[in-house]
Amino acid sequence: MTGATTSPARLVVFAVVVAAIVVGAAAYLSVLHVETPVASGAARVADDAQRPALLEIRRAAHVVFRDMAPGANYGHLAFAALHAGAHRLPTSLPCYRVSFTGSLGFCLTVASDPVGFRGYLIDDGLAVTRSIDLPGMPSRTRISRDSRFAAYTVFVAGDSYLASGLSTRTRIIDAHSGGTIGDLESFTVTRDGMVIRAVDFNFWGVTFTRDANRFFATLGTAGRILLVEGEVAARALRVIAEDVECPSLSPDERHIAFKKRFGSAADAWWQPAVFDVATKAVTLLPEPKHIDDQIEWLDEGHILYAVGHSPSAAQRRSDVWKLAIDGASPPSLFIPDAESPAVVHP
């Protein structure tokens, strides 16, 4: 969540402050962790005047994202048609991380009333149907392609993957009831047929296959980054590769876009890369800027991702960039002042 120009010293100070807030809130929220229906008007995506225009956008291919433009809608959920330069339509719902399909949405947010970390499930009519108390600071979220499951990752210590003392919680939920199906830390992990265990296991960045029962995720342990393939029903995970972080499976399921880490600790940075599922070959893509986002697929040949900028501004800023996975062309700006893009093909 930090830009490439943020200094290590500022990262450390920021991490300490946010970590204290996160840990305190996590202790409170981890006790609650309830899934409750949202009362009328308690959390709304948009008012009645906005809804027709939003639903019109939803009828065709579109992108949902977090609006980062300064002003009244900063940090809110926003929608736009799926082409560069399309007019954005912001909403009244604050969101920190976003995932959407044609029939369902999931918004992770830092709520102010009441104060806490919360997830909102959103139906195809853009009504918030469930509110889920989260055990930490929102980080990643994905909905399965059939809208059956949703997954989220939160930080419960530290504020980013750069912070020392990183601890995450990654859970898969029923995307309609909001009920927790499983925490990845309770799944059995194997490598080369042998069960592995460690007290420092941390999981993040779930991405689902067409079969919602199968997914990929990151496992961090002993300073190593592992790509795991999981099965929801079996509550099992299998290590299949190393150094593949925050995976995002392509629409044709042939490639996994991910963040490739360079450096370590506060000096770490990431660049986008692509993992070939069949051959396990890795291709580093021509993006020199640091990224800290779970990559989204625009189509089978292009990815979208956020790049932070203006680290000294009063409000953090970022843009969404587009890049071809063949590496033949440089990245291009896709949505200014935006992050956490979710591409939807109804």
pLDDT of 161 higher than 60: no
pLDDT-derived band of residue 162, with 50, 70 and 90 as boundaries?
low
- Which pLDDT value is given to residue 160? 58
Q: What is the sign of the dihedral through the CA atoms of 283, 285, 290 and 295? A: negative
pLDDT tens per residue, range 301-345: 999 999 998 776 677 899 999 999 999 999 999 999 999 999 999
Contact (CB, 8 A) for 191 and 57? no
Please give the pLDDT value at position 312.
65
Q: Which two tokens stand for residue 106?
A: 């999931």
How many residues appear in the chain?
346
What mean pLDDT comes out for the span 8-24? 37
Half-sphere exposure of 158 (CA within 13 A, CB side): 18
Q: What is the pLDDT of residue 223?
A: 87
- More confident: 316 or 193: 193
Single-letter residue type at 262: F
Q: Which residue did the predictor score with more confidence, 18 or 116?
A: 116
pLDDT per residue as tens digits for the range 119-149: 999 999 999 999 999 999 999 999 999 999 9
For residues 65-83, give the mean pLDDT: 95
CB atoms within 10 A of CB 104: 20
Q: Which of 53-67, 193-207, 262-276 has the lowest mean pLDDT?
A: 262-276
Which structural domains are found in the chain, ordered by start? 8-344 (2.120.10.30)
Of 24-28, 43-47, 224-228, the least confident = 24-28
pLDDT of residue 313: 64
Residue 29 CA, distance from chain mean position:
20
Q: What is the pLDDT of residues 75-115, one digit of tens each?
A: 999 999 998 788 999 999 999 999 999 999 999 999 887 78
Share of the chain above pLDDT 70, in %: 84
Predicted pLDDT at 38: 58
Q: Residue 139 corresponds to which tokens in the numbers above?
A: 């980080």
Chain position carrying tokens 């909905």? 143
Fill in the amino acid letter for 162. Answer: L
SS3 string of the chain? CCCCCCCHHHHHHHHHHHHHHHHHHHHHHHHHCCEEECCCCCCCCCCCCCHHHHHHHHCCCEEEEEECCCCCCCCEEEEEECCCCCCEEEEEEECCEEEECCCCEEEEEEEECCEEEEEEEECCCCCEEEEEECCCEEEEEEECCCCCEEEEEEEEECCCCCCCCCEEEEEEEECCCCCEEEEHHHCEEEECCEEECCCCCEEEEEEECCCCCEEEEEEEECCEEEEEEEECCCCEEEEEEECCEEEEECCCCCEEEEEEEECCHHHCEEEEEEEECCCCCEEECCCCCCCCCCCEEEECCEEEEEEEECCCCCCCEEEEEEEECCCCCCCEEEECCEEEEEEECC
